[in-house]
Structure formats: C-alpha cells, structure tokens
Amino acid sequence: MDIQLNGVSKSFGDQLAIDHVDFTINSGDICCLLGPSGSGKTTLIRLMIGALATDNGSIQIGETVMPNMHMLHNIGFMPQNDGLYDDLSAEANLEFFGSIYKLSKTTLQQRITEVLTLVDLTADRKKLVRNFSGGMKKRLSLAIAILHQPDVLFLDEPTV
C-alpha cells in the first residue's frame, strides 16, 4: 500500500509542528524520518496512522483517506514509549492486544508463538513485563505491532 501525503500541516495552538509536507512512500519501501528532537517526526507518524487529524492537506494509505478506523486493522504501530502492561506476562500482553484485532483463538495462539520466536522472547513468554529489560520491552512492543500481520508498519524511535 502506498502512503501519500499532500500539503499536510498540523499545529498545536500557536506552535506549527508540520508545515505543508508532501511525499509518497511506495508499497514495499522503507522510509526513515530523521531530524532533531521536536522537529515533528512523532507528530507526522501520528498523523499517518490516523491518531491525529491534519489541519490542512490529506493523507492516504492505499485508497483510504486517513484518519479511518477501519484502516487500523492494516496498520502496525510501535510507539516511542512502550504501551505495555507491566503486571501481565509477555504472553498475556500479546493476548490482550490480539483480542483488540479480533484474531480467533487458534490464530492468536499461532501468531503469539511466531512473533515471540521472531523477537527471541519465547523463553520469557510467562515472565511479567515488569521484570523485562528495556530491550526486551522494545522487542515485545515490536511483537505486538506485527501480531495481526499489518500491511503497513510504523516504528517510532525503534532504536531507543
């Protein structure tokens, strides 16, 4: 799915965060947003996933104009700050987030095994997240972002 931004702008009060941004990311491409802290990278990602509406301009993912709630099933997002439940195990976190995407019980259990293997957390699947290192939490966040096999994946500060 191509992602197209046309004249996208966003302000917060008097603070202009994004100013008439235009670009296209072609299906299959990897795009990296580089810039200093406060330059609008996270805001731009939040606009593309539909968590924020633009003030001006438009964003399309494939043929869908964003924001669009139905498109969320096609988008994976790993936020800058982990949105994990520390009182749950890695497996329970994945079960919770998988239920949001309405994966069947069989599919969910299969996908949990696959993503835990991919991020090398299989041995830690029953461990409470509060006992994870920062790197383990990042890997679990990635597993959650890809659990539902999204068409588009957004990673905010993946190297933190």
pLDDT along the chain (160 residues), means of 10: 96 96 94 91 95 96 93 90 93 95 93 98 98 95 96 85
Return the pLDDT at 81: 85
In the listed set 20, 52, 67, which residue is the last one of a domain according to the structure?
Answer: 67
Return the pLDDT at 111: 97
75 lies in a domain? Answer: no
Tell me, yes or no, whether 12 and 49 share the same domain: yes
Q: What is the pTM of this model?
A: 0.89
Any idea which residue has 């302000």 for tokens?
11
Tell me, yes or no, whether 9 and 62 share the same domain: yes
99 lies in a domain? Answer: yes
Tell me, yes or no, whether 49 and 15 share the same domain: yes
84 lies in a domain? Answer: no
Count CB-CB contacts under 10 A for residue 91. Answer: 19
Tell me, yes or no, whether 97 and 137 share the same domain: yes
50 lies in a domain? Answer: yes
156 lies in a domain? Answer: no
Domain region containing 113: 90-150
DSSP 36: -
Amino acid at 40: G
What total number of domains does the chain contain?
Answer: 2
Any idea which residue has 């957390």 for tokens?
121
CA distance 143 to 94: 8
39 lies in a domain? Answer: yes
74 lies in a domain? Answer: no
Tell me, yes or no, whether 63 and 94 share the same domain: no
In the listed set 17, 34, 67, which residue is the last one of a domain according to the structure?
Answer: 67
CA distance 65 to 58: 7
Tell me, yes or no, whether 96 and 63 share the same domain: no
Rounded (5°) CA angle 37-39-40: 110
129 lies in a domain? Answer: yes
Tell me, yes or no, whether 24 and 55 share the same domain: yes
